[in-house]
Amino acid sequence: MTYDETLGYLYSQMPEYQRIGERAYKVGLDNSLALDRIFEHPHRQYKTIHVAGTNGKGSTSHLLAAILQEAGYKTGLYTSPHLTDFRERIRVNGKMIDKQFVVAFTEQYREQFEPVMPSFFELTMEMAFLWFARQKVDIAVIEVGLGGRLDSTNIITPELSIITNIGFDHMKFLGNTLPLIAAEKAGIIKPGVPVVIGEKGEPEVEKVFREKARSVQAPIRFAEETISDLTAVQIGTGWLYRTREYPELKGELSGFAQQKNTRTVLTAVRLLQERGYAIPHEAVRTAFSNVVSLTGLRGRWQLLKAKPKIICDIAHNAHGLRDVMEQLKSESCTQLHLVFGMANDKDTESVFPLLPKEGRYYFTKASVERALDEHLLQEQAARHGLQGKTFSTVAAAIAAAMENADEADLIFIGGSSFVVADALPLFI
């Protein structure tokens, strides 16, 4: 098989949650454990860090990977979903997995893994674990796919667990209250393994984390308490952070949410240092200021064009979009244009009140089965005073926005990572 034929086989034979939704979701770790036996537990050949949370886990994972590789550790990074290239999910020191390995893995092990009937995520996770072992990484940062307790990645025993925050998302699978969702995320907390909590959240959520950590004797550290002196000032397209330990730390990622992620990452670095990892301050500074080039991270308040200013962001739920919309309010422009689409399993009613009524909307549908119909999105948005036209493709919506926008206007592209994924190739 060619590389493209291999991807076609994987997408067609192994259902992918990111593309088709709940029909691809498999409850439990049985498949992951079965696959892990087939490949002889490759993740045991190196150290790991496990990152969960409703939002921010992608940025946190990339920042940590950048820091570790700058500190001299050969570092694996497993994240999802990808935006334009499947291989974005699996990187070693920022370099994507070889196409040849994707093909060879599928052809060599097909007869062994097909009887297990794994999901796309389960199989590609094991592909990543094996690739990291073959590359002889020192440590790998592993991002949770969905939830925590029953997520496929929860077969690892990490050096450190991280839970960035808790918000409402995937409630059909994780529960319809924040404590229930927190309990699922807290499922990654392992006996004796330190855990960092990025945001405490409500008292009931904090209680869930404290009780879980106590029950398995896992040291727990809250980032808001550990890095309580963080200040942030916008400089150019990024941030200048200051703490006692880092009097001047330039952050390349420019989203408002990055201030919270920075506390989480700096707390994680401190815990890793306490566990014997040699991470000099210079490695942290270099990683924060160059995370995009070091890891390939994209889609986080990313500037795509200067005139008119075009920005995209993959925030896709109310918890994440709240910060993004606050940042949009801080932007000065004559007219705001929003190219907006969502997945069909998201809580749109919690999102619409956050969106600016003065914006000019271009409702659209991403090129995945899971995307919400643009006409239905328009109807729902209209009930909240949001007006705009519909477009059957993201490309058409962006073209219309650019045609209508003056140089002093701002175009925002978002609502779903799939919308951003369709948009990015248009600006390369």
What are the tokens at 51? 């990152």
Query: Are 55 and 38 contacting, i.e. CB atoms less than 8 angstroms apart?
Result: no
Tell me the domain boundaries of the chain: 3-295, 302-427
CATH node for 302-427: 3.90.190.20
Strand pairing of 388-391 and 139-143?
Answer: unpaired
Predicted pLDDT at 19: 46
If you ran DSSP here, which 8-state letter would residue 166 be given?
-
Query: Is the CB of residue 14 less than 8 Å from the CB of residue 35?
Result: no
CATH node for 3-295: 3.40.1190.10
- Residue of 257, 265, 259 whose CA lies nearest to 233: 259
Q: What is the DSSP letter of 373?
A: P
Angle at alpha carbon of residue 211, lines to 194 and 141, rounded to 5°: 30
DSSP string, 85-152: -GGGGEEETTEEPPHHHHHHHHHHHHHHHGGG---HHHHHHHHHHHHHHHTT-SEEEEE-SSSSTTSG
Per-residue pLDDT tens listing for the chain (428 residues): 899 999 999 988 775 534 444 444 556 799 999 999 999 999 999 999 999 998 999 999 999 999 999 999 999 999 999 999 999 999 999 999 999 999 999 999 999 999 998 888 999 999 999 999 999 999 999 999 988 899 999 999 999 999 999 886 555 557 669 989 999 999 999 999 999 999 998 999 999 999 999 999 999 999 999 999 999 999 988 999 999 999 999 999 988 899 999 999 999 999 999 999 999 999 999 999 999 999 999 999 999 999 999 999 999 899 889 999 999 999 999 999 999 999 998 889 999 999 999 999 999 999 998 899 999 999 999 999 999 999 999 999 999 999 999 999 999 999 999 999 999 999 97
Strand 249-251 and strand 238-242: the pairing is antiparallel
The per-residue pLDDT for 14 is 74
Q: What was the pLDDT predicted at 173?
A: 58
